[in-house]
Structure 1
């Protein structure tokens, strides 16, 4: 590990985690075509920390929403414990908490399929096809009718369907942000709310996944002398991730979210051709 590699990985993590281009797909293709299949295992702790870096990005951008949601979460528990029913609709922040909880549920199903999903990372042709599919999802997302649903009137069914999109996006090559934002708009979400909901619902997903991986990462061992390099990568991932979120918000509001489709098509088609040639030469 070097500081240069740490910075480079931080940039890649910050960009690919939030831009709708599939960080998992890029990682899978990078490892396949550059013979670095064992890199993630070798630097497992660093990989986990990089995800925490992008978690920081979301918290910084949406800190007001997060603080309000935490407050309403405990107020909601207190209301249930006291069995108080005022007949008034819960505030948007409390409804957002309920929507995110429901949207997270489909991920538990994917945990059962983790071994199957892990095998997909080594299939460059499948990953390439998934990237092409991401391109089509993004392309048509800008052509959907503008919705008006927000946390005030989005339903639990809406949240569950968007959550299914998030669960499906664990397939390498499918963009999590691209899929969830597009499915949200398909369900009639306001563009700004679709983006906000997508990033906020990523918090429990990223946090939960990394908590499960921390123990394995520590058990795998790491060089203490490289810890400062790890922290540099985390800081870079957090800063780059912050600006990546801002960019996605801006492009989505302007109806230019589908611009990323052309990039996904180019990478998907290029890697598909390279994968077929590699397979033919094997």
Structure 2
């Protein structure tokens, strides 16, 4: 099955899922679409400043520090090669395996459509991709577009579900694999799994739980697709569940969160190197 991976630069969740797919028999990664950092253009820098005003500078510094720790994690894999299957970044996988990469400002632009069209993928797989796909992109792959969503759908639609589940004081987190349609996290659900949230969980630790668990669920869904079976791991009934959309958190949401929990710990970021399984 030929797939194109959609991922966001610097996102650990994206790296975990791409490493999983690389090792999966029958899955051929024919291309990568990489969401470019906004800072690569003057317009992008203006958008970054506006975004930081919305989320607050305290959160901005946390993101910068978190990114530094992620880079440290990658450097550790250079010293201990046996760890690379856990944390090798998507761009490094692409370079090592001669996989073409398209750096996109907007995935819906005609240039990106042309890149995807020429590779003729069976599937697009969104691995914590940060952009909304329009119908022109959704129509390109032969089988459709799959998404690994770091939340329990339909209860936690939208951005940063791993943040909101902690901010709301929930005792369980979740992961969902679903088809992408023209809505936001509204496509058919194929698989879900919940997990316990520890008392001192941070958004980073929850993010890593969702990436590892989500990669495994995705692998099972892909295996069923390749075998010609119904890709649903089980019939999922959602009619009696709340249907809630959460936007990107703003400064007040982050301040509420900081009063309850740490945003991340160094060991959270590096834990992906040794993760085995979760409840």
TM-score, length-scaled by structure 2: 0.29
Which protein is richer in helix relative to its size? 1
Q: Which has the larger radius of gyration?
A: 1
Higher relative contact order (CA 8 A, sep 6+): 1
Q: Which has the higher strand share?
A: 2
